[in-house]
Structure formats: C-alpha cells, structure tokens
Structure 1
Amino acid sequence: MNDDFSSSAPRTPLTLLGTGAMGTALGRAWLAAGHPLTVWNRTPERTAELTAEGAVAAGSAAEAVAANRLVVACLLDDASVGTALEGADLTGRDLVNLTTGTPADARARSAWATERGARFLDGGIMAVPPMIGAPGAFVLYSGDPGLFQEHRDTLAVPAGTEYVGADPGLAALYDVALLSGMYGMFAGVTHAFALLRGADVALKEFAGLLVPWLNAMAGMAHDTAGRLESGDYTTGVVSNLAMQAGNDTLLRTAVEQGVSTELLAPFVELMRRRLADGHGDEDTTGLVDLLRTR
C-alpha cells in the first residue's frame, strides 16, 4: 500500500466495475486514501458497502465508464468483462483489468480495448481480500507502459505493484506460474499430513517442523532458474536424480501408511524418466524440459 501522498494533493478519480469480495476490498482502500470512486455491479445491492463509505453507484457499466478516465474491472471472468463493457464508450479511457484470466485472454482483451480507443493494462492480484491494503499484497501488471506509469501511485494504494512487461499476457502468466508453485506446495503438505493422519502424532508440532523445512527448500527455485538460464544442470548439484529417483521409500511408505500415491507418483515418475534418459547426475531442473510440450 502506497502512503506517499501529500495530504493536500488531489486524488485521481476512478471507476470500479465489480464489487464482490475482492472489488469491495480494493474500493475500500481507494476510498480510505481519498480517491473519488464510482462503482458498478451487475447486482446493484452489492455496491452498498462502498456507497456507505462514499462511493457513487452508477446505474449501468456504461455510465460508470463515462464517469472517469481510469476504469478498473474486477469481475468474474473474461467473458463478463466483455459483456459489461459491450455498450460502453471506451474512447480515451484507461482500462485496468484485474479479472482473473489466461495470457491469451489478456492479449485478446488488450486488442479488443485498443480497437475501441482505450489503453489497456492487465493485472494479476497476488492476495486474498483480507490482505488488500496491508503489507505483503501485490498485483502483477503488464500491458501499456504509459498507462502504468501514469497511474502507478493510484494502483499502488490497495497493494504493491510489479510491472512485468509490455506484453499484456505476462501478468496472467506470472500469476498462474506463482499459483502453480503454490498448489504444488499445497499438494506436498496434503500428502505429508495424510501420512501422519493415522499415527500417534501431534500435528501442530509437526507443522512447526514442516514450515521452516519448506522455507529452507524454497530457495532451490533460484538454483533452478540459474541452471535453466545457463543450460548447465549438473554443476553444484548435491542431491542428484540417481539418489532421488532410485529410492522408492516415499511411495512404499505411503502404501504402508494406507495413503494414496496419486499426488506424489507423477513427480516420482518424471524423475525416473529423466534418470532413465541418462541424466542421473542432474538435480530436478531437467524435469522442466520433460514437461514442455512445444
């Protein structure tokens, strides 16, 4: 959250399309910082929280867009953005799309907005609603660099900003890549607790061991990035595939504990495939190449 404002400086007015849980959190942060806010939601009653705090509710999305040059969309999906803005005049507008979508969605929506006379910025929110306005929340942005620079301070009010490039699809790509890493971690945590579920174990005490262990292991992402960029997958490897893939302890223990191997087995299989291809002296970096389909 950006607090670097003079108390007398005028705040940029903006329009917010979508007042669900995330939209409401964003709108509340902008209102608290003194930004005049126009809001619209397909279900009008859902704007009540923000209008009670000073926002102005528009009767239609087109009316909301007409109210301000800076327009932020935080809707259900890409299709809902197109539907909401179908009758709106986007000429001269700066459209910031914080609706979750794919890189292809973002690129197509950027072209769509440009054809209608608007500048376009796509965003990926790396936070849940309670995090908005607090340290740690950030939004990935990609698209029109001029739009980002002009509105950077306003966009930084509810969450930190990370501009990742002019390609409109990059924010969505980064977003999904980060979430994929998160869900991979969730899968590992799920399997770990399944192993312990039937044992005489204090699960909270185990969590106290698991969290610092995962934090310590997360640093391997820097090694993987470095090896992928250099093309050298073997220098400095301390735990190679010959050691990891050749050991069936993980899967045998799961079977002994009455736990399905469906979360762990695909990764073990990838390691074994890479090992069988003659890469036993590598770490897991080469699995990235196995996953690529083009």
Structure 2
Amino acid sequence: MYDMTYHRPASLADAVDLFSHLDEPSYLSGGHTLLPAMKGRLAAPAHLIDVRRIPELSGLRAGADVIEIGAATTHATVAASAELGRVLPALCGLAGSIGDVQVRHVGTIGGSVANNDPAADYPAAVLSLDAVLHTERRRIAADDYFAGLYTTALEEGELLTRIVFKVPESAGYAKFRNPASRYAFAGAFVSRYRDGRVRVAITGAGNAGVFRWTEAEAALQKRFAPDALSGLTVDPDAMLGDHHAPADYRAHLVGVVTRRAVNATGSVDIR
C-alpha cells in the first residue's frame, strides 16, 4: 500500500463536497474491488472517502411493487431481511451467497454495482429486475447503466444513493462458482413479470460484463420452463476466457445456470 488520506463524512452533502475539492479522490464503500486494485497498484487515489456510515445511504424498504435499497446497505442486511424475503426471496438468497460471512458484513450493494466487477452477483439482479439507479444527481435505468467491464454510466464524482427494483411475479438466481475465489464463472438472474415479460441477466461470463440474454427471454416468454431453453446457446466469442474457465466452458455454463435459475424460481441455486 502507499500513503493516502482517509475521510469519513457524516452526510451525503459532506461526501460530495469532499470529492469536489480534493485531488485524486475515490469513494470507498465495501472496498472489495477498490482495495485489491490499490494493493496491485492498479488504482492510486490520494484520498479515500468512506461512505458506509452515511445514514442517508442505508436502509431497505420492500413494498408490493418496488423495493428500495440504500447504496451503503450491506449484503448481510439484505440477506437477513424478513421484509424483503416475503416479497423477493431470490434477492435475499443472492445476497446471502456472496463471498463469506466476513465479506457480507462489510460489502455493500452500492459498492458492488458502482464498480461493475464482471463476476459480481448484484449486477445481474439490477438488470433482470429492471431497476432504476439513483444518484445525488439523477436517475439511471438499468439498461442504460452498465457500460462494460468495470465501467458504468456514472460520471466523475457521481455517487450512487439507492437502487429501486421492480417486484416481479417470480424470480430465481443460480450460479456456478469458482471453489477458491467463490466468484461466479457464470450466474443467471431470471425475473418473470405479471405482464408476461421475462428478463434474463447473466453475470460472470461475458467479456463486456453483465448482459441480458434476449434469446432466452423470448423463449421463456413463450413457455416458462427450463426445457424451453433447449438448443439455445450464447456465442463463446463473447465470453470471458482464462486458465480457470475457457470461453466455451463459460458459454456452456450460461445455459446451465439459466435453466437452474428458472427451476429455482423463488430461491437460489449455488453450486
């Protein structure tokens, strides 16, 4: 590591003001993407602005039609919410599947979504659940938010404040994990809405990050069953490939986890 100055503002206004006046600042939430990047000398902010304890950024409200979650809300809080569990248990299950217990008590939904790590779980839920992302400046639709690996529509200094999810009729999440890192080789969040729409979002596999699998959506809108996806494949050339999992293997896993997500509607399938 290297020298830096740590700041812990008490309010959203204070955080935004700090960012606007400091040289080379960065917001810090859970830190599970930023801190490893700093250790590897891939990022070198001179000032860290910790937003985790700002009251305006925390909290959760689950209604019949929408769910609102503050950006600084931890994975553990989402996983344990009985209020959310009654409305959308698949989202609780997703949060409870992230990393390990230590990660879940520090990591935040806003940090995960703001960094758009290609193997993160929450981006699949944000995209599948047709969410709206709120910042201190504006609202951004999920379909307009994700812009590639570690890239989003957020502008310099723009801070996520909360995420508003649409409540589907049913939803399921499934992923296949690297047994060492516990990150997903491929994960699928499937949401089915009362008007017949289906949204399928894939994380962990795409070489441009999270994406909607529109061919699967069309098939499931005709018949919502795992075997409706028979014969469908994603292009291996559009998949990540490394020594852990080559691109063609990840392409195969996309089909596997999407069928499992349909079958696990209302819960999570983690293997």
Q: Which has the higher strand share?
A: 2
Q: Same fold (TM over 0.5)?
A: no
Q: Which has the higher helix share?
A: 1
Q: TM-score, normalising length from structure 1?
A: 0.25
- Greater C-alpha Rg: 1
Q: TM-score, normalising length from structure 2?
A: 0.26
Higher relative contact order (CA 8 A, sep 6+): 2
